Chains A and B, each alone.
Chain A
Amino acid sequence: MKNGHLNICLKQSEDFLSVRKGLRDIKSQVLRTGLAIQDFQSIELVLAEVLNNIVEHGDIPYNPSDVQLTWELYDNQFCAMIIDPGVAYNPNITSTLNSEDIGSLLNELPEGGFGWSLVVALCSAIKYERFDQRNVLNLKIPLHS
């Protein structure tokens, strides 16, 4: 079987430790398919950025709440659907890293804003929908990239 599902239970605001645990569980699931650990690097980074964004900015009703992650390895791609109950967001899927974003002076260097740019750089397709008061994000991550 080269697909799987995981519920990541968020217990409190900025629950990054639950994200970390979720990433560990997904890694365990995906590596059981025989995928090389090097191929999981991009997957882990993309999922970390998406999930941390939800935890940090989603304004999620913690009672607790689940983020649902469904994945499939298909045609040399990792396909994921991530559903969360947070506020709507703009995935800004045209975001790219421009050299002008990096200041020339030390105090101009950005300390944030890299997350979605990394997602965009590593994904071949990103589709965002708002459905039934939930965010539904579909991603495709090419392997061997």
Chain B
Amino acid sequence: MHISQEPFDETLVLHVHGNRIDAAEATNFKELFRSATQEMPHRVVLNLKGVDFIDSSGLGAIVSAMKMLGPNDRLELCHLEEAVQKVFRLTRMDSVFSIYETLDSALKEPDKSLM
């Protein structure tokens, strides 16, 4: 897995390249996220397009990533595949994160998440 960065105005988009955020990848994900957000952006959109599996360790890593940001900063998510949406729904984390259907909607309509 690797994470690439793409700044859009006040938003830092992080693209996850890899199809799993699981127990084997959770620690690596957190380290990559920490490294990518060293400049403390106020809003980060994590683009999960292509991630087709996440388990509870991967979910915990994303929660941990959210906590790495400042108390007034936001981590938002987009492009959740069906299986990933299911994990967020079952754990009720869909009520914690702003989740957008696409990256475009995340960039055009912040705070109007679809889930």
Binding site for B on A (CB under 8 A): 16-17, 19-20, 38, 41-42, 44-45, 48-49, 52, 55-56, 97, 99, 102, 106-107, 109-115, 117-118, 121-122
> Are B23 and A52 in contact (CB-based, < 8 A)?
yes
Number of A-B contacts (CB under 8 A): 77
User: Contacting B87 at CB < 8 Å: which of A52, A109, A118?
Assistant: A118
Tell me if B38 is interfacial: C-beta within 8 Å of chain A: no
User: Contacting A16 at CB < 8 Å: which of B24, B63, B93?
Assistant: B24
Some 7 contacts from A to B, beta carbons below 8 A apart, are A16-B23, A48-B55, A99-B92, A102-B95, A110-B60, A117-B91, A118-B91
Give the chain B neighbours of A17 by CB distance below 8 A: 24
B interface SS class: helix
> Are A112 and B90 in contact (CB-based, < 8 A)?
no
| Chain B residue nearest in CB terms to A98 | B92
Q: CA of A114 to CA of B26 in the docked complex: distance in angstroms?
A: 14
With both chains docked as a complex, state the minimum distance between the C-beta of A58 and any C-beta of chain B, in angstroms: 13
The CB with the most chain A CB atoms within 10 A, among B23, B66, B92, is that of B23
- In the A-B complex, the 10 residue pairs with the smallest Cβ-Cβ separation, listed nearest first, are A16-B24, A114-B56, A115-B56, A111-B60, A41-B83, A16-B23, A52-B23, A48-B55, A111-B63, A114-B91
Do A114 and B67 form a contact, CB below 8 Å, given A45-B83, A97-B90?
no
Give the chain B neighbours of A56 by CB distance below 8 A: 23
User: Contacting A97 at CB < 8 Å: which of B23, B24, B61, B92?
Assistant: B92
With both chains docked as a complex, state the minimum distance between the C-beta of B95 and any C-beta of chain A, in angstroms: 7
